[in-house]
Amino acid sequence: MPLTLPNLDDRRWADLVEESRALIPVYGGEWTDHNVSDPGITIVELLAYIAEMDLFELNQITDAHKRKFLSLIGMQPEPPRAAKAVLKFGLDAATPTLDLPAGLAFTTAGTEPVRFQTREAITVVAGDVAALQLAQSAAFQDLTSAWRRGEPVTVFGANPVPEASFYVGFSAALPVGKQVNLYFYFAGDQSLYHERERIEKEAAVRALDCQPPAGQNPCVGVATTPANPPAPEPAAPLVHPSVRAVWEFWADDAAQGQWVALRAAQDHLVDETRSFTLNGSVRFQLPSAMRAQSFGTVASKLCYLRCRFVSGVYDAAPLLLGAVLNSVFSLQITPLNSSLRIAPGAQILGTVPNPGDRVQLKLQLDNAGRINQLTFGGGATGDPKFLILSYRAATSTEGSLQIEAAYLGRTTGFPYDQFVVPNAPVMTRGFRLFSLSGSGWQEWQWRADLESSLPRDTQVILSPTDGKLQFGDGENGLVPDAGSLLFVVADNTLVEAGNVVAHSVSILEDSPHNRAELGTNWAAVSSHLKIIDNPFSAQGGASAETPDQASLRAIQLINGPTRAVTVSDYEQFALTTPGTRMARALAIPDFHDHFPCFMAPGVVTVVVVPFLPAGAPSPSSASRRAIASYLNRRRIVGTRIRVVAPQYVEVSVQASVQAIKGVNRTTLQARIVARLQQFLDPLVGGENGEGWPFGRHVYAPDLLSVIADVPGVDHVLAFAFTGGCTPPCNEICVGRAGLVKAGTLSIEVA
């Protein structure tokens, strides 16, 4: 849907002619022939045609101007995005483990294969996930059948409590001292990658708030920031603020075996799932051997790993859709490469590299575009290193050098020099452009425009959609030396076409890239790797945003709340706080929950209700702190935020009913209890089924109506209810920040 712009002048040709004809008596009274046959009218019609073209151009706004307007509010159109997929591997029966380096390419079958490239190294181990079980209150539940059918399963039960355990049984013992990758995929949008990005961004903002201000401290007259600050530490895995869990495996360490905990430092345990709330991998190395054992309702002896819920509170129960052993994250990208010819008699200096080596290069090309001088290594610090895919020395015939970089050509030395990166769209992430001249290598930075570039800035305009490159004019951006050789290191992507369905990727690509990455291991890997699969559909591939699409996103951003001003703003921010899952929220202005009978000017109390615990959901202190921190950065000056749990009033009911003849009394009693529990539920109760309204009192007619409407009830013989009142009660009062929950429900059926 394009952005609708105002029409600055809606006059058309006929309107202009008519307006001009009406002005003739004013400026030329002696001109009396206004018919189309008059030459003057012909000239008026011609000028009206020209004016109409000018009005049409007046109403146009170029894409370049739209991008500049967007930049004024800090927005840029999103670049092309590659699809993401999780790949699963399996080995033949004779191979215990197989190491795969990062960067291997796998494709779909067919005449137009879609290529995915792994982003990290992995050790493929023997075996597979054979069983999933839930242990809760000393009872086991077999989740395997539901999991294999693709149904969501609750890893810690529908109402998780501490000491619940999730068991993963493997068909073979995992190796000792080898990294194992176990990927978990959960139901719901709040487990996807974009939610991880929101949580990471929020964590970075909170960390920044805790940093002391940089610069000069006027109190002591010294700088508060060191001259050489230490390098930032690598980002740690996200940790759930409330839930604590322990990973353990059944070890062959005693006569009967025992559970041994995996430790983060010693066993390289990394849990990317944030305690089963985000899609991600769990990586670890076993310190000792596993032992096959039968647990729970699964009779087979399997090698078990379990996650034990130790403490804390979940906002919502984790729902698992998939558990995949030997999994790795991949992107739908294809690195650019080029093959350069080597002229017979070319001068070759340095040590000739092997395929897969990354080396510095210096080369010269003759007029035919062939290499006549080539130097391997020996470059200056900071010179680029290129991945060598293949090298064939020239003899009496031409040789060749294939590198993972695209050769674009020679620069002209004139302003606005243009080139095209092949196989667009191009990924902006990892894009690097180099020029090689007599003075050596020079790296260029890509920009959306060069309007703020200085004459000596080595910057270039890149259009990721069509791959067009344009250098500056010497005023905005440096002009490269004439005859410089241009090389680009980048990846292209198929954008939406990369969002392939599950079980599409199945082939190890036989390509110079893979052969260079694997070297002498190519034959072993291709023969031992028997299972290649993407168990879930690839997601996230998208074309670059057009200026119109970015404009609509900008309007949504502007129209959406950026500050907490109104009651609905507070409630929306509370419900969308990164890392929390709230079902309901209520903002009460000028109210303090500790002093409900007094007005509290400037205080906004936000009552939040998660999905758990069932029956009386209440947020953990960590969730309340997270929401309060999120709101505090968005509140207006002079406002104090309080984030609290609802105050529950327990409602108990005693009733005696007369059943319709022929109705089973036990079944009817169960239906009445279930209906009352549903009616009084904080999340699905109330008259409309959207949760009991905050602060709504409970009246006897409400409960009597619920009981009487249950099918099979003839009439109510006796009724009484209690909850925060002195019996007998006709009304139970609920505070402004209060909800109700079902207490004892005693129903007799006559």
SS3 118: strand
Q: Kindly report the three-state secondary structure assignment for every residue of 230-274.
A: CCCCCCCCCCCCCCEEEEEEEECCCCCCEEEECCCCCCCCEECCC
pLDDT of residue 66: 83
d(CA 734, CA 216): 55
Hey, where are the domains in the chain? 13-60, 84-124+496-533, 129-206+240-325, 336-492, 561-644, 647-749
Q: What DSSP string describes 169-196?
A: EESSPPPBTSEEEEEEEESSGGGSHHHH
Are residues 674 and 745 in contact, defined by beta-carbon separation less than 8 angstroms? no
Instruction: Using the structure block, give the residue that is written with the tokens 């708030």.
Output: 209
Per-residue pLDDT band at 210 (split at 50, 70, 90)? low
pLDDT of residue 216: 54
Is pLDDT above 50 for 232?
Answer: no
d(CA 717, CA 747): 11
Of all residues in the chain, the percent with pLDDT exceeding 70 is 95
**E runs forming strands in 1-156:** 84-91, 97-100, 105-108, 115-118, 122-125, 129-136, 139-142, 153-154
Q: What DSSP string describes 122-167?
A: EEEES--EEEEEEEETTEEEE-HHHHHTT--EESS-SS--TT-EEE
Is pLDDT above 60 for 521?
Answer: yes
Element (H, E) at 309: strand 302-311
d(CA 573, CA 674): 34
Position with higher pLDDT, 483 vs 32: 483
pLDDT of residue 215: 55
Q: Which residues contact residue 307 at a Cβ distance below 8 angstroms, ignoring those fewer than 6 apart?
A: 155, 165, 166, 168, 245, 246, 247, 248, 276
d(CA 481, CA 471): 11
Are residues 320 and 146 in contact, defined by beta-carbon separation less than 8 angstroms? no
Are residues 578 and 202 in contact, defined by beta-carbon separation less than 8 angstroms? yes
**What count of Cα atoms within 13 Å lies in the side-chain half-sphere of residue 466?**
8
List the structure tokens of 524: 């072993």
Instruction: Using the structure block, give the residue that is written with the tokens 């380096």.
Output: 101
Are residues 430 and 421 in contact, defined by beta-carbon separation less than 8 angstroms? no
Residue 651: CB atoms within 10 Å? 25
Mean pLDDT over 284-298 rounds to 93
Mean pLDDT over 489-501 rounds to 95
Q: Which tens digit of pLDDT belongs to each residue from 617-647?
A: 999 999 999 999 999 999 999 999 999 999 9
pLDDT of residue 341: 95
Per-residue pLDDT band at 73 (split at 50, 70, 90)? confident
Is pLDDT above 60 for 266?
Answer: yes
pLDDT of residue 558: 80
Per-residue pLDDT band at 257 (split at 50, 70, 90)? confident
pLDDT of residue 555: 84
Mean pLDDT over 520-541 rounds to 93
Distance from chain centroid for Cα 331: 14
Look at residues 562, 572, 715, 742 and name the one whose alpha carbon lies nearest to residue 648.
742
pLDDT of residue 38: 86
| 223 DSSP β-pair partners | 216
Q: What DSSP string describes 683-750?
A: TT-STTSS-PPTT--EEHHHHHHHHHTSTTEEEEEEEEEESSSPSS-SEE---TTEEEEEEEEEEEE-
pTM given for the model: 0.83
Per-residue pLDDT band at 451 (split at 50, 70, 90)? confident
d(CA 569, CA 629): 15
Mean pLDDT over 174-187 rounds to 94
CA distances from 158 to 109, 134, 196, 429, 575 (A): 40, 11, 23, 41, 21
Query: 649: buried, middle or exposed (CB in 10 Å: 19+, 13-18, 0-12)?
Result: buried
Mean pLDDT over 30-51 rounds to 87
Which CATH architecture describes the domain 561-644?
Answer: 2-Layer Sandwich (3.30)
Look at residues 523, 487, 516, 491 and name the one whose alpha carbon lies nearest to residue 388.
516
d(CA 308, CA 243): 11
Per-residue pLDDT band at 535 (split at 50, 70, 90)? very high
Per-residue pLDDT band at 213 (split at 50, 70, 90)? low
SS3 92: coil
Q: Which residues contact residue 176 at a Cβ distance below 8 angstroms, ignoring those fewer than 6 apart?
A: 285, 286, 287, 288, 289
| 445 DSSP β-pair partners | 459
Is pLDDT above 60 for 217?
Answer: no
Q: Which tens digit of pLDDT belongs to each residue from 465-477?
A: 999 999 999 999 9
Q: Which tens digit of pLDDT belongs to each residue from 235-247?
A: 578 899 999 999 9
Mean pLDDT over 546-565 rounds to 85
Q: Which tens digit of pLDDT belongs to each residue from 106-130?
A: 999 988 999 999 999 999 999 999 9
Element (H, E) at 589: strand 582-589
Residue 225: CB atoms within 10 Å? 12
Is pLDDT above 70 for 389?
Answer: yes
Average confidence score pLDDT of the chain: 90
Is pLDDT above 60 for 225?
Answer: no
Listed range (240-249, 259-268, 568-577) with the worst mean pLDDT: 259-268
Look at residues 126, 172, 167 and name the one whose alpha carbon lies nearest to residue 147.
167
Is pLDDT above 50 for 332?
Answer: yes
Look at residues 679, 705, 693 and name the one whose alpha carbon lies nearest to residue 736.
693
Is pLDDT above 60 for 15?
Answer: yes
Q: What DSSP string describes 376-398?
A: ES---TT--EEEEEEEE--SSS-
pLDDT of residue 229: 47
Listed range (54-63, 183-192, 272-281, 482-491) with the worst mean pLDDT: 54-63
Per-residue pLDDT band at 726 (split at 50, 70, 90)? low
pLDDT of residue 70: 84
d(CA 425, CA 463): 9
Mean pLDDT over 592-618 rounds to 93
